[in-house]
Amino acid sequence: MGLKQCKIIYNALLDEKKKKAIKLLKKMIPNDIKLEIKTLINNDSEGWFGMYHHGWGTSIRNLLRRKGFGEKYFGINNLDDIYVELIEDTIKETFND
């Protein structure tokens, strides 16, 4: 679930925009990593991403920016506010949770 204040920002975004970014993440994140993320989320739904932000979290954020899914695309101030939720929805769609 990530941070509650970020979820509010994420929920206000257009679903169509989110779906396009999720489609990219589904292709770019290897299946074994998706499974690891699923386990992390199941073990700590609110804080699972914390220790990963400065590693692969920023890599995911920067990938989204490079592929055209940055702050301007979403109409937000900071992609850090929503990339966790995009990953979570990617995992949900991948595993049909």
Angle between helix axes 31-43 and 83-95 (nearest 10 degrees) is 110
Domain span at 12: 4-95
Closest CA to 33 of 11, 14, 57: 57
**In total, how many domains does the chain have?**
1
* Mean pLDDT (the chain, rounded): 90
Are the CB atoms for 37 and 97 separated by under 8 Å? no
Mean pLDDT of 74-92: 94
The pair of three-digit structure tokens given for residue 96, joined into one six-digit string: 């049909």
User: For 49-73, what is the mean pLDDT?
Assistant: 89
Indicate if the pLDDT at residue 3 is higher than 70.
Answer: no
- Residue 49: pLDDT over 70: yes
Predicted confidence at residue 24, as pLDDT, reads 97
The more confidently predicted of residues 49 and 19 is 19
Q: Of all residues in the chain, what percent carry a pLDDT higher than 90?
A: 72
Q: Rounded CA gap, 4 and 59, in Å?
A: 22
Cα–Cα distance for residue pair 22/64, rounded to 1 Å: 10
Instruction: Give the residue with greater pLDDT, 50 vs 69.
Output: 69
pLDDT of residue 46: 84
Token pair recorded at residue 93: 């769609």
